């Protein structure tokens, strides 16, 4: 993708003034602000209507820029070398000297760190004197944005500037791994657990439903298109759309397909766009056919399961 330096400069100038801008990443678009600035981080929470106790991911250009803020360890360095920049977020301990805003982390001693791969955001990060805090660019609890027009749909004029970067190539959020002690996956995402496993060569536990959420009812609704979703549906109700993993022979207007032939990576990339499209097409609910629970299918099922708590 060709980098438009005038656009980068515009985003940079706004960020320097502690304003928020939307940024493209390879996973999903983000709402970015200066991670060292309390006022910028406050604006992010307000724009997204995000509960202040849900900390933000901090995006860096490279390792060199991270060193002042976090303690690094062997597992982190192995994964950084293999996958960064890329769709993975690391939970690390912050250093006493860390300059990250306490607003961004909700005063946590840990930090979620990511090195996005998208060339536009890399070009921006390269020119900044600070890392950027950026949650996904959607209203809290709703489907993430994978194009600039998705961001416009959600925020309208409230967002000062959207840095154009085309459609996000991965289409779901980064995989989050806690590396402070034994590796622990906290969110399934754009990088498969089995490839992480191959590099670390040790057991990785999966804790995607944190134990502090004690009852299923407390599981926060997330990734919702704003209408009910039924999983593993066997029949379709009136005014309902049907979402299938691959194209079926039946061609009805209310049939939607995540991929042509069932490719799970392609399906992941299309997931949020199709959920948004079904809502725009005015269906009142979504019936989802069975999706294979392997590889990226696990990420898709995780998002749809959370979205079904509507």
- Rule CB under 6 A: is residue 54 a binding residue for ligand TXA? yes
CB of 157 to ligand TXA, least distance (A): 21
Dihedral (C-alpha) 53, 165, 286, 47: value to the nearest 10 degrees? Answer: 30
Determine contact, residues 28/168, Cβ cutoff 8 Å.
yes
Residue numbers of the site for Mg ion (CB under 5 A)? 136
- Rule CB under 6 A: is residue 110 a binding residue for ligand TXA? yes
Window contacting ligand TXA (CB under 6 A); options: 107-115, 154-162, 197-205, 262-270: 107-115
Q: Which does 276 bind (CB under 5 to 8 A by kind): Mg ion, ligand TXA, none?
A: none
> For 166, what's the count of Cα atoms within 13 Å in the CB-facing half-sphere?
10
- Find, among 142, 145, 175, 143, the residue nearest to 162 by Cα: 145
Determine contact, residues 262/245, Cβ cutoff 8 Å.
yes
Separation in Å, CA 10 to CA 5, 6, 17, 25, 104: 9, 6, 11, 17, 23
- Rule CB under 6 A: is residue 21 a binding residue for ligand TXA? no
Choose between 26 and 240: whose C-beta lies nearer to ligand TXA: 26
Contacting residue, 42, 78, 108, 152, with ligand TXA by CB under 6 A: 108
Q: Which does 134 bind (CB under 5 to 8 A by kind): ligand TXA, Mg ion, none?
A: ligand TXA
Q: Which does 89 bind (CB under 5 to 8 A by kind): Mg ion, ligand TXA, none?
A: ligand TXA
Choose between 60 and 256: whose C-beta lies nearer to ligand TXA: 60
Interaction with ligand TXA in 64-93: which residues (CB under 6 A)? Answer: 89, 91
Choose between 19 and 173: whose C-beta lies nearer to ligand TXA: 173
- Rule CB under 6 A: is residue 28 a binding residue for ligand TXA? yes
Contacting residue, 11, 27, 242, 270, with ligand TXA by CB under 6 A: 27
Interaction with ligand TXA in 152-181: which residues (CB under 6 A)? Answer: 173-174, 176
The residue ranges that bind ligand TXA (CB under 6 A) are 25, 27-28, 30, 54-57, 89, 91, 108, 110-112, 114, 116, 134-136, 173-174, 176, 186
């Amino acid at each position: 993708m060709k980098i438009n330096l005038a656009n980068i400069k515009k985003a940079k100038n706004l960020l320097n003034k502690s304003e928020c801008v939307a940024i493209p990443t390879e996973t999903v678009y983000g709402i970015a602000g200066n991670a060292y600035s309390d006022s910028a981080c406050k604006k992010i929470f307000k724009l997204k209507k995000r509960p202040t106790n849900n900390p933000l991911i901090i995006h860096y250009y490279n390792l060199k820029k991270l060193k002042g803020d976090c303690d690094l360890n062997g597992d982190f360095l192995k994964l950084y070398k293999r996958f960064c920049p890329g769709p993975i977020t690391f939970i690390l301990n912050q250093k006493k000297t860390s300059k990250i805003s306490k607003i961004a982390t909700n005063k946590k001693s840990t930090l979620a760190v990511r090195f996005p791969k998208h060339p536009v955001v890399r070009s921006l990060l390269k020119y900044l004197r600070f890392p950027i805090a950026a949650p996904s660019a959607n209203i809290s609890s709703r489907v993430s944005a994978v194009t600039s027009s998705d961001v416009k749909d959600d925020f309208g004029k409230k967002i000062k500037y959207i840095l154009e970067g085309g459609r996000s190539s991965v289409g779901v959020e980064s995989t989050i791994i806690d590396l402070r002690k034994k590796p622990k996956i906290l969110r399934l995402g754009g990088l498969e657990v089995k490839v992480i496993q191959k590099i670390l060569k040790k057991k990785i536990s999966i804790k995607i439903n944190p134990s502090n959420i004690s009852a299923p009812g407390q599981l926060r609704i997330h990734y919702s298109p704003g209408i009910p979703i039924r999983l593993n549906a066997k029949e379709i109700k009136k005014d309902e759309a049907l979402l299938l993993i691959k194209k079926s022979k039946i061609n009805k207007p209310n049939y939607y397909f995540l991929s042509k032939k069932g490719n799970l990576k392609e399906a992941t990339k299309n997931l949020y766009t199709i959920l948004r499209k079904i809502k725009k097409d005015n269906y009142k609910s979504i019936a989802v056919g069975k999706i294979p629970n392997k590889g990226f299918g696990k990420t898709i099922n995780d998002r749809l399961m959370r979205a079904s708590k509507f």
